[in-house]
């Protein structure tokens, strides 16, 4: 079952685009809607509309405030599966005031669905979604030209919109775009083929979702990045408050060396690439070289491990490695830098100004940061860049220069999402106030 693993995708849009109807249609036509949910939706459909027809958009109803106001406030995660793949949908609202939610949903997505109303063509909102998808480095964009039923399923309407959107995406550097003419309301080309569009020979949306490749498919083509998350030392003192163990612990499956008090393993999630036992590695920021003695898991040692597995690495030499360090290969190291230029999305109601001090979390490192300068701001409606910015307001996107108190091991975000992305944390409120994508580091 689910031979093709997991695909995470995001759908940004508003009620008007038919986003909720599209998600409802995907869930309904893949038979993921269970009887009690269907009964609830049928009851709600009767209460809320005059004809009482089943409103699939109601399947994605969320919090009470959202139901009362008929809007989506926050990112909702939804799940469905086919025989070929498991899917996680990050369902986010589409209006400009929810830019930060769109960025959040996009950060983990392998694919983004951009919805376009066939009657209206490429509007600013669709452009904004495409821009955010590109900014967050989502590998695939699926453009769904929706409401084809309302334009008589005409090919020339679709072709024109597809050409417009491709031109726009080319400008953003998005190469992987698939355009699909659909009607979410009638289910055309969502899961089932559309009888009204014999001219369309491409995949249905579901066929496309089932077959696209994900980021981790070619681990040998990308740099090895292993941020150390936690040091496993069975011989270490028990943290305060845990008391004495009340048993002898489990029969360890980690091999003979694991039973020893001197076991020392570096635990983490491989962010990119593949590692194998015996390989020569370098530990940053120190720069020490050593070899991998073993790649341990609870289920036994591995010859090799690829992203995104969580494993524990033992090294041949006894060197000082701690949380926040990064294991990679000699000759293929990230930049070790304290000065970054990055595009950020500001997510706080308190404005950001040059000189502000914050905490940056990048991979497993958390250090102090100062925003040295605001370089420019992107108008997310026109995508023009505005210079001479004195503050970023909530949902602003723009470039900043940041200096950190300790070096970070970073790559450009477009090369590596894991070592190119960071968050900023406000020290007063402890809130997460920005998402950042590194463009240059020195």
User: Which residues, 252 to 271, sit near other proteins by CB under 8 A?
Assistant: 252-254, 258-259, 263, 267-269
Out of 175, 289, 298, 381, the only residue in the binding site for other proteins (CB under 8 A) is 298
Residue with Cβ nearer other proteins (169 or 254): 254
Residue with Cβ nearer other proteins (74 or 440): 74
User: Which among 84-92, 180-188, 325-333, 387-395 is the span making contact with other proteins, rule CB under 8 A?
Assistant: 84-92
Length of the chain measured in residues: 442
Residue reference for tokens 């038919």:
18
CA–CA separation, 223 and 4 (whole Å): 23
Residue 93 touching other proteins (CB under 8 A): no
Residue 250 touching other proteins (CB under 8 A): yes
User: Which among 152-160, 302-310, 327-335, 381-389 is the span making contact with other proteins, rule CB under 8 A?
Assistant: 302-310
Helix (H, G, I), strand (E, B) or coil at 66: helix
- Cα torsion at 321, 362, 274, 83 (round to 10°)? 140
Out of 78, 95, 166, 193, the only residue in the binding site for other proteins (CB under 8 A) is 78
Residue 236 touching other proteins (CB under 8 A): yes
Residue 416 touching other proteins (CB under 8 A): no
- Establish how many alpha carbons lie within 13 A of residue 167's alpha carbon, considering only the half-sphere containing its beta carbon: 7
Out of 152, 173, 195, 243, the only residue in the binding site for other proteins (CB under 8 A) is 243
DSSP assignment of 200-231 equals --S--HHHHHHH---GGG-GGGS--BEE--EE
Instruction: Looking at residues 167 to 186 of the shown chain, list those that interact with other proteins (rule: CB under 8 A).
Output: none
Contacts of 68 (CB under 8 A, 6+ apart): none
Residue 279 touching other proteins (CB under 8 A): no
Helix (H, G, I), strand (E, B) or coil at 5: coil
CA–CA separation, 160 and 148 (whole Å): 13
Residue 2 touching other proteins (CB under 8 A): yes
Q: Which secondary structure element, helix H or strand E, spans residue 88, and what is its range?
A: strand 86-93
Residue 218 touching other proteins (CB under 8 A): yes
User: 279-314: b or e for each residue (b if 16 or more CB lie within 10 Å)?
Assistant: eebbbbeeeeebebbbbbeeeebbeebbbebebbbb
User: Which among 83-91, 115-123, 334-342, 370-378 is the span making contact with other proteins, rule CB under 8 A?
Assistant: 83-91
Residue 83 touching other proteins (CB under 8 A): no
Residue with Cβ nearer other proteins (199 or 298): 298
CA–CA separation, 424 and 366 (whole Å): 10
CA–CA separation, 363 and 418 (whole Å): 7
Residues 14 and 93 sit within 8 Å (Cβ to Cβ): yes
Residues 275 and 219 sit within 8 Å (Cβ to Cβ): no
Residue 108 touching other proteins (CB under 8 A): yes
Q: Convert residues 316-355 into a mask of x (bound to other proteins by CB under 8 A) and - (unbound).
A: -------x-----------------------x--------
Residues 295 and 263 sit within 8 Å (Cβ to Cβ): no
Burial of 245 (0-12, 13-18, 19+ CB in 10 A): exposed
User: Which among 12-20, 61-69, 328-336, 374-382 is the span making contact with other proteins, rule CB under 8 A?
Assistant: 61-69
Residue 247 touching other proteins (CB under 8 A): yes
**At its nearest, how many Å lie between other proteins and the CB of residue 392?**
15
* Number of residues this chain uses to bind other proteins (CB under 8 A): 95
Instruction: Looking at residues 188 to 217 of the shown chain, list those that interact with other proteins (rule: CB under 8 A).
Output: 214, 216-217
Radius of gyration of the chain (CA): 24
Residue 86 touching other proteins (CB under 8 A): yes
Out of 107, 189, 343, 404, the only residue in the binding site for other proteins (CB under 8 A) is 107
User: Which among 48-56, 125-133, 158-166, 356-364 is the span making contact with other proteins, rule CB under 8 A?
Assistant: 356-364
Instruction: Looking at residues 360 to 399 of the shown chain, list those that interact with other proteins (rule: CB under 8 A).
Output: 361-362, 364, 366
User: Which among 166-174, 284-292, 333-341, 419-427 is the span making contact with other proteins, rule CB under 8 A?
Assistant: 419-427
Residue 65 touching other proteins (CB under 8 A): yes
């Amino acid at each position: 079952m689910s031979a093709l693993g997991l695909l995470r995708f995001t759908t940004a849009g508003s009620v008007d685009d038919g986003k909720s109807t599209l998600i409802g249609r995907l869930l309904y036509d893949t038979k993921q809607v269970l009887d009690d949910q269907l009964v609830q939706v049928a009851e709600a459909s009767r209460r809320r509309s005059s004809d009482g027809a089943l409103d699939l958009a109601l399947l994605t109803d969320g919090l009470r405030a959202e139901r009362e106001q008929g809007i989506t406030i926050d990112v909702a995660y939804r799940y469905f599966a086919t025989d070929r793949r498991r899917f996680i949908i990050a369902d986010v609202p589409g209006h400009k005031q929810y830019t930060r939610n769109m960025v959040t949903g996009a950060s983990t997505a392998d694919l983004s669905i951009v919805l376009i109303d066939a009657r209206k063509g490429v509007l600013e909102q669709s452009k904004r979604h495409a821009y955010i998808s590109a900014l967050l480095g989502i590998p695939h964009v699926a453009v769904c030209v929706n409401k084809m039923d309302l334009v008589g399923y005409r090919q020339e309407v679709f072709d024109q919109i597809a050409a417009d959107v491709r031109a726009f995406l080319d400008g953003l550097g998005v190469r992987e775009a698939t355009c699909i003419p659909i009607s979410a309301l009638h289910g055309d080309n969502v899961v089932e083929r559309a009888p009204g569009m014999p001219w369309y020979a491409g995949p249905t949306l579901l066929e496309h979702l089932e077959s696209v490749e994900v980021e981790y498919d070619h681990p040998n083509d990308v740099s090895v990045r292993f941020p150390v998350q936690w040091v496993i030392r069975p011989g270490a003192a028990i943290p305060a408050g845990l008391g004495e163990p009340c048993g002898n612990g489990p029969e360890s499956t980690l091999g003979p060396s694991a039973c020893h008090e001197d076991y020392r393993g570096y635990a983490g999630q491989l962010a990119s690439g593949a590692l194998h036992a015996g390989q020569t590695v370098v530990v940053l920021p120190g720069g020490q070289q050593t070899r991998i003695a073993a790649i341990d898991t609870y289920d036994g040692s591995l010859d090799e491990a690829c992203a995104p597995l969580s494993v524990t690495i033992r090294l041949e030499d006894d060197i000082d490695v701690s949380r926040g360090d990064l294991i990679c290969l000699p000759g293929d190291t990230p930049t070790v830098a304290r000065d970054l230029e990055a595009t950020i999305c500001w997510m706080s109601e308190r404005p950001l100004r040059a000189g502000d001090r914050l905490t940056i979390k990048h991979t497993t490192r958390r250090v102090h940061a100062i925003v040295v300068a605001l370089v420019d701001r992107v108008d997310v409606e026109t995508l023009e860049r505005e210079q001479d910015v004195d503050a970023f307001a909530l949902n602003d996107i723009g470039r900043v220069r940041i200096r950190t108190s300790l070096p970070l091991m970073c790559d450009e975000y477009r090369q590596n999402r894991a070592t190119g992305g960071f968050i900023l944390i406000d020290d007063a409120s402890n809130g997460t106030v920005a998402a950042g994508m590194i463009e240059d580091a020195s």
